[in-house]
Chains A and B, each alone.
Chain A
Amino acid sequence: MRIGLAVLRNEFLIYFKKWVHIIINIAFFIFSTSLFSLVAGLEQGLLAEWGAGVIWVVALLSMLLAMPLLFQPDREDGTLDLMLLSAMDPAWLALAKAGANWCVFGLPLVLLSPLLGASYGLEGIALVVLPATLALGTPALILLATVAAALTAGLRRGVGLLALLVLPLALPILLFGVRATELAADGFPTAAPLMMLGAFLLLALGLLPWAAGAALRATAN
């Protein structure tokens, strides 16, 4: 556990030294969502209809940009071997990596989403539900990505494969996230899709770090 915290601390230090990645990620999120609104023109009804879907899809894509940073650098510089040979269970390693990656790349998207939602004409409770869905859904996405990243870290063209593995598995999270926001925008209760997202997150927390740990061990050769 203490080693896991040391990994977490190191990850934050490294990510903040690579601040350009963080800026690029945020800029990608903002510019890509803006592109959709330009294509839709100024038709407010259409914008509001697209809003939740566009923001969720772009959030997913911008998180995909950061997913190769989960294990690939550690594989390349040899620190992954040292971490796998430490007293720490690789599941804690995966959890620490996922936690740091989400705080640096996922949390800013959650915080920015109400602003972007408002620019799409979302209002009222929908501007609360949208970040809530992202806060529940994006950590589950990162946990999914840890398994795919652990499996593909040693591959030369692993980034494309990582995206192909994550995208179909992310579909239920995406659908519930978008649906909850749409229901909120139309004034319907949103408890059911939010609870489903919460259940996905709990399931991901309970299972995926162990799966990622096993994948890291299996691909260490």
Chain B
Amino acid sequence: MLEARGLTIWRGERRLCHDLSFSLASGSLLLLQGRNGSGKTSLLRCLAGLLPLESGTVELNGVAYGRDPARYLRCLGWLGHKDGLKAELSVRRNLAFRLRLAGLAGQAGKEDELLERAGLKGLENRVAAQLSYGQRRRLALAGLIGVAPPLWLLDEPDANLDAQGREWLQRELDSHLDAGGCAVLAGHRMEWRSRGPAPQLILGIA
């Protein structure tokens, strides 16, 4: 599904990785590990097409970002450090906007189902600014789950989540992988699993 070949990434004067290659099949999870500043977020942003590659290619389902950006982007879902929520808008409006960005028309039923799964039922009309950090993370994840793209790119997705939230995220990740999706997850937690221990890519060694 995801094929990265010969990736070299620079951040300013610093080379974060050189000639890095890996592939990811349907149903698999790749964990990006490494100390702070080792380039986990930069690699994720490169995979999303948000950061240019110095050299190398990334193909998603056989499509390179440079060849057909729209088709490439349709296949991936992004959850960065920041939740991507508008503090001034309600929980429902934020979720609806996230779905709309993926071309999904407003579906109140689907929004209700997602909010229930994320443990946010009853908070639909509360503005995002009034949510706790953990609730905001859940809402951002609910948006990604609702869009359901084949590849998930997650940057520390469990930030601010409590134990229940992490279990919920693991369940959603399991469902996604069982359905044939795949995910690249950057973070410091080692326990994420995909039908067993997930392979790890440790950055910052070279």
Interface residue ranges, A against B (CB under 8 Å): 2-3, 6, 10, 13-14, 17-18, 76-79, 81-88, 220-221
Contact = CB atoms under 8 A, between A and B. Distances in A.
A85 B50 contact: yes
Contact of A77 (B52, B76, B84): B84
Contact of A78 (B52, B70, B74, B80): B80
Contacts of B51: 220-221
A79 B73 contact: no
Interface of B: 45, 48-52, 70, 73-74, 76, 78, 80-89, 93, 97-98, 100-103
B102 A86 contact: yes
Given A77-B83, A78-B80, A81-B78, A87 B102 contact: yes
User: Binding site of A, secondary structure by majority: helix, strand, loop or mixed?
Assistant: helix
A17 B86 CA distance: 11
Given A85-B50, A87-B70, A78 B82 contact: yes
Contact of B73 (A13, A17, A78, A87): A87
A17 B49 CA distance: 33
Contact of B76 (A17, A18, A85): A85
Given A82-B98, A84-B50, A77 B78 contact: no
Contacts of B81: 78
Contacts of A14: 86, 88-89
A77 B100 contact: no
Contact of A3 (B78, B85, B89, B103): B103
A125 B119 CA distance: 62
A85 B71 CA distance: 11
A81 B49 CA distance: 10
Contacts of B76: 85
Contacts of B80: 78, 81
Contact of A85 (B52, B78, B82, B86): B78
26 contacts: A2-B100, A2-B103, A3-B100, A3-B101, A6-B97, A6-B100, A13-B93, A17-B89, A18-B88, A77-B83, A77-B84, A77-B85, A77-B86, A77-B87, A79-B86, A81-B48, A81-B78, A81-B82, A81-B84, A82-B98, A82-B101, A85-B50, A85-B76, A88-B101, A220-B51, A221-B45
A196 to B, nearest CB: 37
B68 to A, nearest CB: 12
A14 B101 CA distance: 17
A31 to B, nearest CB: 27
B5 to A, nearest CB: 21
A81 B102 CA distance: 13
A86 B97 contact: no
A3 B102 CA distance: 8
B48 A85 contact: yes
Given A221-B50, A221-B51, A83 B101 contact: yes
Nearest to B96: A6
A66 to B, nearest CB: 16
